[in-house]
Amino acid sequence: MPILTLTTDIGQRDYLVGAIKGQFLSLVPDLTIADITHYLSQTNFPQAAYTCNNAFKYFPAGSFHLIIVNLFEAPVKYLVVAKHNDQYIICPNNGLLTMITGIKPKDMVAIPINKQTTLLQITQLVAEKISSVIATGNLSAGGLPVNNIEEKYPLRATVGPDWMEGQILFIDNFENVVINITREEFQEHRKGRNFKIVFKRNEVIDAISDNYTGVSESEKLAWFNSAGYLEIALRNGNMAGLFGLQGFNEQMQQTGSASGNKWFYQTVRVFFE
C-alpha cells in the first residue's frame, strides 16, 4: 500500500489540504496519506528541513513526501522529484530539497509547470505524476530528467578551540528551542571539559539533563532531544517567548531588524573550559 506524506505552510483553516488529499485519492484509491505539519514558516527553510528530515526517516522505504513551502515566491517553472535513501521527495525548486538531504540527490526528475497557475492545478499535476511512478515503479515516469537545481544546504554550527555557536532551528508548540548542534558534535568539541550554554547575552545553562523533569519547576534546562539535537527549555514555561528567542532567519541577520521594540536572539553559544 503506497504512502504519501504532506508537509506544507498553508495551514488547515480552509479546504486546501482536504482538496489535495482528494486529488491523490481519486487517482490512487488505496493510498495512505499522513500529515507531517501544515504550519511551517514560508521563509524559515532550516525549520522545514529539520522537520522533514527527522520525520521522513521513520517512514517505510518507497514512501512519497510532498512538501509545499514558499511555492509562489517566484514563478513556478517545475517541481523536483528526487529519490533519496529509498524515499521519494517532491518539492519546489527553491533549495529546500538539498536543505533536507544535505547532498544533491543523484536520481531526480522535474515536473514542468506550464499552464498550471494555482495551487490545486499544480498539486493535481503532481498527483498524476506520482500515480504514474507508483504504477510503473520507475522514477522516470514522474517527469523529465533534471540536473541543475537550486541548491541550499543546512546551517552548521561554527566552532573554535573552546566555543561553538549554533543557530535556532525550531521552536515547538511549548516554545522549547532546538539548536543546530547535535549530541555528536557537542561531545566531539567538548572533549570532556566543563561547559556553559549562553544565550541572550548572559543567560547560562551549565548541565545537560536527561529530560524535562531534570530540573525544578520554572528552571532552565538543556538536553538532547529525540532527534539528537541540543534543546533548551524552561520547565513548564515558555523559553522562546520569555527570553526573546526566534528561529534563525538570514534576512533578519543581515538587516538586524526587530519586531517592534523587542529584539530577538537567534544564536546560542557554548563555551568550554
Q: For residue range 153-184, list pLDDT tens digits in order.
A: 988 899 999 999 999 988 998 999 999 999 99
**Grid cell digits, residue 34:** 499522513
Percent of the chain with pLDDT over 90: 77
DSSP codes joined into one string, 109-145: EEEE-SS--SHHHHHHHHHHHHHHHHHH--GGGGSEE
DSSP SS3 for 239: helix
Q: 78 by DSSP, 3-state: which?
A: strand
The HSE-up count of residue 48 (CA atoms within 13 Å, CB side) is 31
Report how far residue 74's alpha carbon sits from residue 183's, in angstroms, rounded to the nearest whole number.
37
- 3-class secondary structure, 273: coil
Q: Which of 29-43, 88-102, 250-264 has the lowest mean pLDDT?
A: 250-264
Residues 6+ apart with CB under 8 A from 126: 66, 79, 90, 111
Q: Which grid coordinates belong to 137?
A: 515503479
Asked whether the predicted pLDDT for residue 270 surpasses 90, the reply is yes
Is the pLDDT reported for residue 260 higher than 50? Answer: no
The domains located in the chain, with CATH, are 3-145 (3.40.50.10790), 158-272 (2.40.30.90)
pTM for this predicted structure: 0.87
- Using the predicted structure, report yes or no on whether residue 250 has a pLDDT greater than 80: no
